[in-house]
Amino acid sequence: MTPTSAAVRAGFARGRAEIRQTLTNSQDLWNYLFPTLIFLVVMFFMRDSTVPGTTFSLGSRTLPSVIGMGIAFGGLVTLMMSLAVEREDGTLLRAKAVPNGMLGYLIGKIVTVSGMTVVAQTFVLIPSLFMLDGISMDWFTLIWVLALGLVATLPLGAVAGSLFSNPRNSGLIMLPVMGLVAISGIFYPISAMPEWVQGVAQVFPIYWLGLGMRSAMLPDGLSAVEIGESWRHLETLGVLGAWAVAGLVVAPMVLRRMARRESGSSVAERREKAMQRVT
């Protein structure tokens, strides 16, 4: 076995171990379940309203959008947070002290975040299928949008996580992400937004993840209320693909730069600061 393949295998083992640890830890599990509960309640109350101009349930229309948003959050925010935290607590430095440890660490992180994102979205999906009417699943589309969505957002999350040295500051990036959610047609149809706002939203992956998921779960007729009155699969592929490529080019550079600066004293320094905040 070569050192690289050993590290890749160790990375997958690491991801499995971390998923298991998350699923057996009530605090972590609650962190995943709590937003799910909120969304389920919201969709429950929306189920009798209809999409404007149709007789289709607004709750059912919201479900795929929420799942698309959940994937974007998983890739962006979860990875960013755990990178920032694990940089501060020395996990990353430990990975650096082990041969090919950074490779294993990153693979582990990707497996953990992807795995937990899928688990969390399943939590949303399964009860919704019983609760909501009119969902027609196209599993093939669901899987490629999910996979491409993760590949598009994970590198961005890694870059963001590398830029913040203090995990408490990383909350700052939540504001623009929430702003994007608001304009990306997740809860409110994007076609009702001013055109320039639509333009901004269509640059970022959140809109396309929502659209892609809607195309996977809603009847074809509903594409009529989307921009261009179409599911625009080709454009979805194009925009998410472009983010994926850009991210995969930039992320390793940013990660390498960040990892290079990690040393025992930089971890000790952050610990000192964190301790001061605690006391």
The Cα-based distances of 164 to 123, 169, 239 in angstroms read 30, 7, 26
From the list 168, 256, 257, 271, which residue makes contact with other proteins (rule: CB under 8 A)? 271
The reply on whether position 104 binds other proteins by CB under 8 A is yes
Helices (H) and strands (E) in the chain, counts: 12, 0
The Cα-based distances of 278 to 171, 176, 213, 273, 274 in angstroms read 18, 28, 42, 9, 6
Please work out, in degrees rounded to the nearest 5, the angle formed at the alpha carbon of residue 126 by the alpha carbons of 125 and 130. Answer: 110
The reply on whether position 6 binds other proteins by CB under 8 A is yes
Closest approach, Cβ 109 to other proteins, in A, equals 13
The reply on whether position 264 binds other proteins by CB under 8 A is yes
**Tokens found for residue 162:** 């590398």
Q: Number of residues interacting with other proteins: please give it, by CB under 8 A.
A: 33
d(CA 207, CA 190): 9
Which CB atom, from 27 or from 55, has the smaller least distance to other proteins?
27
The reply on whether position 171 binds other proteins by CB under 8 A is no
**Tokens found for residue 18:** 């971390």
How many CB atoms lie under 10 A from the CB of residue 221?
9
Which CB atom, from 89 or from 235, has the smaller least distance to other proteins?
89
- Using the contact rule CB under 8 A, the part of the chain among 2-10, 110-118, 178-186, 191-199 near other proteins is 2-10
From the list 31, 91, 166, 198, which residue makes contact with other proteins (rule: CB under 8 A)? 91
From the list 42, 44, 50, 89, which residue makes contact with other proteins (rule: CB under 8 A)? 89
- Using the contact rule CB under 8 A, the part of the chain among 65-73, 161-169, 181-189, 259-267 near other proteins is 259-267
- What stretches of 168-230 adopt beta strand conformation (E)? none
Residue holding tokens 């949008």? 145
The reply on whether position 276 binds other proteins by CB under 8 A is no
d(CA 273, CA 268): 9
Helix axes 139-163, 58-73, angle to 10 degrees: 40
- Using the contact rule CB under 8 A, the part of the chain among 30-38, 52-60, 244-252, 262-270 near other proteins is 262-270
Binding site for other proteins (CB under 8 A): 1-3, 6-7, 9-10, 13-14, 17-18, 21, 25, 86, 89-91, 93-94, 96-101, 104, 262-265, 267-268, 271
